[in-house]
Amino acid sequence: MVGERDEQCAGPSGLTLIVTAQLKIKNSKSKTAVPSRWRKEVQSVLITEAQIARRIKTLAREIERDFHGHEMVVVALLNGTVVFLADLIRQLNLPLRLDFIGVSSYGLGTESGNLVFTKELRLDVRGRDVLLVDDILDTGGTLSRVLPKLRKLQPRCIKVCVLLDKKERRVEKIEADYVGFTIPNEFVVGYGLDYGERYRNLPYVGLLRTEILPGTES
């Protein structure tokens, strides 16, 4: 990631990590139909279940190559990551340990609020290779707070994997090492991502109807 340098998580060949080719999602007017149950709230499907599944397999192969032969700890940020995480780790054919950091902006709307840590890491990551997993990299505010905390625990290296990267919104100088999809600056829900704690269970990434966004509460 950009910012303070970590030692590279390298594969057995010693080659440094090659940043994954990123898939850019540009067109928010996907032709994929929104399932009828959600049509009143979800305007369109931005990334389908099948696209996500295919991309995760590719990401997993890249991560396996880079982490092979090292003590791997997957650290996931709660809550939005759980769906992506569950699919990603089941594609990783590597021994790994798994732990969570709870962090939330506690905002019900579309803007990040103040960050609150709700769960600390319990596993010892000293000397280990950490894969930090999050659902979306937006302003970078969350990772800019979490990464220094993790570095203090002295892992051998830290690599960041996000499903979605909303580059246009970045405020902090943070980039992920593995990105599923680069998306436009639109508010997305589903596949773990919420609006007012709802919509996390949609199996795809979608766009909400504009009339849903203002003033909605869980």
Choosing from 134, 165, 175, 177, the residue that interacts with ligand PRP (CB under 6 A) is 134
Site map (CB under 6 A) of ligand PRP, residues 141-170, x = contact: xx----------------------------
Whether 205 and 188 have beta carbons less than 8 Å apart is answered as yes
CB 60, min distance to ligand PRP, A: 20
Q: Is 124 a catalytic residue?
A: no
CB 50, min distance to ligand PRP, A: 23
Instruction: Tell me the two tokens of residue 59.
Output: 């990401």
Choosing from 30, 44, 51, 104, the residue that interacts with ligand PRP (CB under 6 A) is 104
Distance CA 133, CA 159 (A): 9
Distance CA 204, CA 199 (A): 10
Q: Helix, strand, or coil here: 6?
A: coil
CB 201, min distance to ligand PRP, A: 13
Catalytic residue among 138, 165, 177, 194: 138
Q: Strand 178-182 relative to strand 23-24: parallel, antiparallel, unpaired?
A: parallel
Among 6-14, 18-26, 87-95, 135-143, which window interacts with ligand PRP (CB under 6 A)?
135-143
Contact positions toward ligand PRP, by CB under 6 A? 77, 79-80, 104-105, 112, 134-142, 194
